[in-house]
Amino acid sequence: MKKSILIGISIVTVLGILIAAVALGFGNPGTKSNSFANTEVNEPVKKEEVQMTLADTGISDSDPKIDIKGAIQYAQSNVSFRIIEPSYIPSGYKFESIEGKKFKGATTDIDMASFSYKNEDEQLTIKETLVIKTEPKTEQFTRQDTREIVDINGIEGRYSEENGIKIIGWKIGNLSLSVMSWKNEGQNQTSSSLNREEMIKMARSIK
């Protein structure tokens, strides 16, 4: 009789613990992953990120400027530099998301912010990257830069089109920036309709 009572008490105790765990949210597997953009870091061992989209705000996009400001502030908390918002967005493209990331590698640590815009099946992204720590490599390899030189507010930038991706890269102090554009066709990337002049105009608005 005593044994049955003890078994009954044990079952009630276990059920109580399980109910409390569910109430506190334990065991919730809801996590988000994002494979938005590759970085130039080859050996990341740890990544921390903050991402926020318009959908996450719970606010309609009737006034997207307010939503974007809130998303930038949310991502800003995860990077050590001031995120610079573009003042010009090419026609047809709408804000999709912004994320802030920290990459820790064996030889390099970087902070990176990424803006994402969409125009149907065309993608437009901005990356802002700051190297926090780097260790010299034993082997140095340099190659001739054949990309087109473009002027970004008096700074020498580089423009190229490779594998369906149009890209402009330049630096403001220690901050490396890039604007990239492409079109998604199934699993393939092809050239977007965004022309070189529009990309340069957008790059010049990031200041």
Between CA 40 and CA 54 the distance in angstroms is 28
Q: What average pLDDT does the chain have? A: 76
Question: Quick one: 124 exposed, middle or buried, by C-beta within 10 A (0-12, 13-18, 19+)?
Answer: buried
Choice between 191 and 33, residue whose per-residue pLDDT is larger: 191
C-alpha R_g of the chain: 23
Amino acid at 127: K
Long-range contacts of 18-24, Cβ-Cβ distance < 8 Å, separation of 24 or more: none
> pLDDT tens-digit profile of 99-158?
999 999 888 999 999 999 999 999 999 999 999 988 876 666 677 888 999 999 999 999
Between CA 10 and CA 1 the distance in angstroms is 14
Choice between 110 and 7, residue whose per-residue pLDDT is larger: 110
Number of helices (H), then strands (E), in the chain: 4, 9
**Sign of torsion over alpha carbons 130, 174, 85, 76:** positive
Say if residues 124 and 153 touch (Cβ distance below 8 Å): no
Between CA 136 and CA 191 the distance in angstroms is 36
Domains and CATH numbers, the chain: 37-135+144-204 (3.30.200.100)
Indicate the length of the chain as a whole number: 207
Q: What pLDDT is attached to residue 179?
A: 98
